[in-house]
Amino acid sequence: MTPEPAVVEPARKFTRAELDELVCGLAAALAAHGAGPNGRVGWMMGNRAEVLAVALAARGLGAPVVAFGRRCTRDELAGRIRIAGPSVIVVDAVDRERVRAAAGDVPVLDVDTPLPTGPAPRAPVGTGVPDRLGAGASLLFTSGTSGSPKAALRTRGDRRLAETIADGFGIGQTTRFVVSGPLAHSGPWTCSLMALARGGTVGILPGFDADGWLGFAAEQAMNSGFLTPTQVRLLVRAAGAARGPRPALDHVVVSGEPFPDELRLDAVRTFGPGFVECYGSTELGPLTALPAREFGARPGSSGRPFAGVEVAAFHEGERLGPGEEGVLHARTPLAFDGYVGSGGSGGAAPPGAGDGWATVRDVGFVDPDGYVHVTGRADDMIISGGVNMFPSDIETVVNAHPAVRACAVFGLADPVWGQRVAAAVISDRDVGAEELREWLRGRISDDKRPYDVLRVAELPVTANGKVSRRKLARLARAVVPGHRS
């Protein structure tokens, strides 16, 4: 019987032995450039097996890994390299010259050319330090909604919690996990390495395309993956129009933004009950899980915290009771150490309410049964006439309009009210502001009814598949005349 491959790409496959050889070769090259506990390993590559091999090689050397996103400009990349202070950066041929131009004196290794050889620790894929499952220490850049990059350093691990999370996601030896979002982002990165560590197979696509994802997953018998709700919506739509076979999905992790109840039901009707919603972040790791069997009973919830994790809402440093909305905080062994400063030294502690509580400024509440509800982001909040409004609350109602297939709500500057509510919609026909406002009358408070409506073919997304409200606001400012008074 032929063993299952460790990694599958559209044009390449790697057995576990072949991946081990790649890991060991990279470990030798990285060690020759000072990689180790005091020498970070940076990388900038498209999605490919070498990304996972770099992570495994660095883990074997005890070196923290730094992912540099490919969308950076040269100046942005140079700034991130200064912050991270890597000993060496691994690239592919596509990014080689751009990275070299920004890297200064930092050595750059190209995986598309022969790497230097030398002795290095030999560690089979899936093994590692006892307190970890998958990745080792890492430094991941996250910009949130502010657009200002921050480098979140994580050195701590907790094997028991990591195993609990993998169990909650259904990741095991029979997992065939599709990753199509950038591996520079924490969700695809963490889950892919978990799948490898547990003996599963990782299928790597260069990027997300709904038809391509469905075709690859069906052809390669993939049963799992990491998706944002925006990507799930596109897959549901593509599956409805496709004539080919649908993949048999057993345990797909959905995270990154709110997963609307109606979309949850559409996903289950289309692909079956193989979904689990997760709430978490780059800084805090996975925090909660809600399997599809609970979707109907727990509308609006992202699930209960994993064993060993606490989540609570706070207001001005005070912990709130069940059902009270505030800024969500978490207390978890997997929380990041803090944000790293210039030159890779120092760093700000995780923001929070003290006593181990940390936050990324999501807003929500914990219900009396312990289920976490994420209602928005403090940074996405629209403040109009002194009233706080969260886009997700408005989106839930707008999405119920019979002609609206998807929407995103955002704020626009207003000279009288500070901000006004705007919406971008994907619709079966032209839906204007007047019609939508009239339809919303009585369904939502008057001040939350959008004053500006843009009809778009697709909602713009960030590199990791989340709706970009910033891009929508820029588009609206360019095409929407005047202001309300």
pLDDT tens across the length of the chain (485 residues): 677 899 999 999 999 999 999 999 999 999 999 999 999 999 999 999 999 999 999 999 999 999 998 877 788 899 899 999 999 999 999 999 999 999 999 999 999 998 776 655 555 554 445 556 666 788 888 754 344 567 888 888 888 999 999 999 999 999 999 999 889 888 999 999 999 999 999 999 999 999 999 999 999 999 999 998 889 988 999 998 877 788 999 999 999 888 889 899 999 999 999 999 999 988 899 999 999 999 999 999 999 999 999 999 998 889 999 999 999 999 999 988 888 865 555 556 666 767 889 998 888 999 999 999 998 777 777 878 767 787 888 998 999 999 999 999 998 988 777 788 999 999 989 998 999 999 999 898 888 999 999 999 999 887 667 788 888 988 888 876 544 43
* C-alpha count within 13 angstroms, C-beta hemisphere, residue 404: 27
pLDDT at 338: 85
pLDDT at 183: 92
pTM here? 0.80
| Assigned CATH topology for domain 12-128 | Rossmann fold (3.40.50)
List the domain boundaries for the chain: 12-128, 382-479
pLDDT at 470: 84
pLDDT at 147: 44
pLDDT at 467: 84
Query: Which tokens go with 4?
Result: 């299952």
CA 77 to chain centre: 20
Measure the CA angle with vertex 152, ends 146 and 156; round to 5°: 150
> Whole-angstrom Cα distance, residue 431 to residue 1?
57
* One-letter-per-residue 3-state SS of the chain: CCCCCCEECCCCEECHHHHHHHHHHHHHHHHCCCCECCECEEEECCCCHHHHHHHHHHHHHCCCEEECCCCCCHHHHHHHHHHHCCCEEEECCCCHHHHHHHHCCCCEEECCCCCCCCCCCCCCCCCCCCCCCCCCCEEEEECCCCCCCEEEEECCCCHHHHHHHHHHHCCCCCCEEEECCCCCCHHHHHHHHHHHHCCCEEEECCCCCHHHHHHHHHHCCCCEEEECHHHHHHHHHHHHHCCCCCCCCCEEEECCCCCCHHHHHHHHHHHCCCEEEEEEECCCEEEEEEEHHHCCCCCCCCCEECCCCEEEEEECCEECCCCCCEEEEEECCCCCCEEECHHHCCCECCCCCECCEECCCEEEEECCCCCEEEEEECCCCEEECCEEECHHHHHHHHCCCCCEEEEEEEEEEECCCEEEEEEEEEECCCCCHHHHHHHHECCECHHHCCCEEEECCCCCECCCCCECHHHHHHHHHHHCCCCCC
| Assigned CATH topology for domain 382-479 | GMP Synthetase; Chain A, domain 3 (3.30.300)
> Whole-angstrom Cα distance, residue 272 to residue 76?
42
pLDDT at 419: 85
Kind of pairing between the strands at 418-427 and 404-414: antiparallel
pLDDT at 317: 87
Q: Are both 12-128 and 382-479 of the same fold? A: no
